[in-house]
């Protein structure tokens, strides 16, 4: 929790200006600003987002300098009343909206000053995320710098040893370096690679979005200004004044969840529900040679909702008259009998046969992998065909055990070089989340 985090830091006098009153745009002002914001996102080619504690307040995690912030209350000799922990906190609408914007290709890089781990646990790709002040769930090796992501909070702060050792296999055996937490104290230097990537992306940015941050802490607070060198636009969404309000091209005074919900709605981008902590290592937009950290996920539960290695999904429609690959969908749409889905990933092949009786198998496992919900099973063939043809948001359920079903989603992103509508095989790049 941010209270425990604040208590674990060294004493420090210069915590910035705290307790500024909050300001709200009128509904009419907010509507116009969201229209403009949506237009900027739609036109952008390289959008970067910088987040602060304000994106996590609706998850029950207090901010630091707000009217009821940790340090604001500290100045009054008070402590905030907190009902959640870092481990029980759930990603907010804003966290999930940023995941959706990245997946759709709008958001190129996310820079966070938060240590709560909610960006990573929401499924935001690690190689497109900079956590400049650390992560309460991450340890790092002091020798090879491999990071280990856990589902529980690490026991130390301020880059101290956690008592664990690195298990990475090296050319001369296991590394065995000592692991330390990644949480920075006041005077600690920011991580070199993540700061370098943050600066690089901000210089490239034609749109820099600042969410829930007063931009008082440097060097992160000055990163948005780098986008101005490339004639980039700066949008700030925060209820209190920020350090760079005068340099902002668009200044919005509203709750970040409300703003991000409305922007995604205007862009026709769906914000997914949250089904549990999920760690994603690589973006589906990752380019060859792209710099990234070596990250290991230690707890399998963080992988339960996502397979980052899914490379391709093939959808094949077959008719009872002719099972050849050349048969076109349009000619036999009303007579489709089977829908076959094959997901190819590292070491795993999944064959899904969708007919009147849904039966799906997972290689090397006896449990069902995907099962259509009852409402989907009862849809007519034409509707089911349209779902696969149109591309993206198929909803599935994963049986955890008999009688217990865990809701899950499967997403497919259509390749840029899409095939003809009359083709029997449609290819999608995608991932299960």
> Which ranges of the chain have pLDDT less than 70?
1-16, 18-19, 63-78, 80, 303-433
Q: Does 144 show up as a binding residue in the annotation?
A: yes
- pLDDT of 369 reads 29
pLDDT at 27 (0 to 100)? 97
DSSP-assigned letters across all residues of 225-294: HHGGGGT-EEEEE-SS--TTGGG-SEEE-S-HHHHHHHHHHHTT-PPPP--S-B---S-TTPPTT-----
The bridge status of strand 394-401 relative to strand 359-362 is unpaired
Two structure tokens written together for 263: 């922007």
Write the pLDDT tens digit of every residue in 118-145.
999 999 999 999 999 999 999 999 999 9
Cβ–Cβ under 8 Å, residues 280 and 126: yes
Q: Which of 375, 339, 332 is nearest to 356 (CA)?
A: 339
What is the separation of C-alpha 34 from the centre of its chain, rounded to a whole number of angstroms? 22
Q: What pairing do the DSSP bridges indicate for beta strands 161-165 and 178-181?
A: antiparallel
pLDDT at 36: 98
Q: How far is CA 202 from the centre of its chain?
A: 19
CB contact at 8 A, 256 and 393: no
Domains in the chain and their CATH numbers?
Answer: 2-303 (3.40.50.1220), 312-432 (no CATH)
Q: Is 141 annotated as a binding residue?
A: yes
pLDDT attached to residue 101: 97
3-state secondary structure of 147: strand
Tokens of 179: 């692991």
How high is the pLDDT of residue 9? 54
> Residue 101 is inside which H or E element, if any?
helix 93-103
Instruction: Confirm whether pTM is higher than 0.85.
Output: no
Task: Encode burial over 82-113: b for 16+ CB neighbours within 10 A, e otherwise.
Answer: eeeebeebbbbbbbbbbbbbbbbebbbbbbbb
Residue 20 has what DSSP assignment?
A: P
Residues labelled catalytic: 133
Q: Is 166 annotated as contributing to ligand binding?
A: yes
């Amino acid at each position: 929790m941010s209270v425990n985090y604040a208590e674990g830091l060294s004493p420090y006098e210069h915590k910035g200006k705290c307790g500024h009153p909050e300001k709200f745009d009128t509904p009419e002002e907010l509507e116009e600003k969201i229209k403009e914001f949506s237009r900027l996102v739609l036109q952008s080619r390289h959008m970067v987002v910088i987040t602060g504690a304000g994106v996590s307040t609706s998850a029950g995690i207090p901010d630091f300098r707000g009217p009821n912030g940790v340090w604001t209350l500290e100045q009054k000799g008070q402590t905030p009343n907190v009902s959640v922990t870092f481990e029980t906190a759930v990603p907010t609408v804003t966290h999930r909206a940023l995941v959706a914007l990245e997946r759709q290709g709008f958001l190129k890089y996310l820079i966070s000053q938060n240590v709560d781990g909610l960006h990573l646990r929401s499924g935001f790709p690690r190689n497109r995320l900079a956590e400049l002040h650390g992560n309460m769930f991450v340890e790092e090796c002091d020798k090879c710098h491999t990071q280990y992501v856990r589902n529980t909070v690490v026991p130390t702060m301020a880059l101290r040893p956690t008592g664990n050792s690195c298990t990475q296999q090296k050319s001369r055996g296991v590394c065995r370096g000592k692991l330390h937490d990644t949480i920075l104290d006041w005077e600690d230097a920011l991580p070199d690679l993540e700061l370098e990537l943050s600066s690089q992306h901000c210089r490239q940015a034609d749109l820099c979005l600042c969410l829930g941050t007063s931009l008082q802490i440097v060097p992160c607070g000055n990163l948005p200004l780098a986008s101005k060198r490339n004639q980039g636009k700066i949008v700030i969404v925060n209820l209190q004044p920020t350090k760079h309000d005068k340099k902002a091209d668009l200044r919005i005074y509203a709750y970040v969840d409300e703003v991000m919900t409305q922007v995604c709605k205007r862009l026709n981008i769906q914000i997914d529900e949250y089904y549990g902590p999920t760690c994603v290592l690589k973006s589906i937009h990752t380019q060859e040679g792209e710099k990234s950290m070596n990250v290991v996920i230690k707890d399998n539960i963080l992988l339960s909702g996502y397979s980052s290695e899914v490379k391709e999904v093939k959808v094949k429609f077959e008719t009872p008259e002719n099972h050849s690959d050349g048969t076109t969908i349009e000619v036999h749409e009303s007579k489709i009998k089977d829908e076959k889905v094959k997901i190819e990933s590292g070491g795993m092949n999944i064959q899904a046969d969708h007919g009147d009786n849904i039966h799906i198998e997972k290689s090397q496992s006896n449990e069902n992998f995907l099962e259509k919900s009852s409402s989907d099973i009862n849809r007519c063939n034409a509707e089911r065909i349209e779902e696969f043809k149109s591309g993206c948001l198929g909803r599935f359920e994963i049986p955890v055990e008999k009688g217990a079903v865990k809701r899950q989603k499967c997403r497919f992103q259509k390749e840029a070089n899409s095939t003809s509508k009359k083709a029997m095989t449609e290819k999608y790049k995608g991932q299960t989340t």
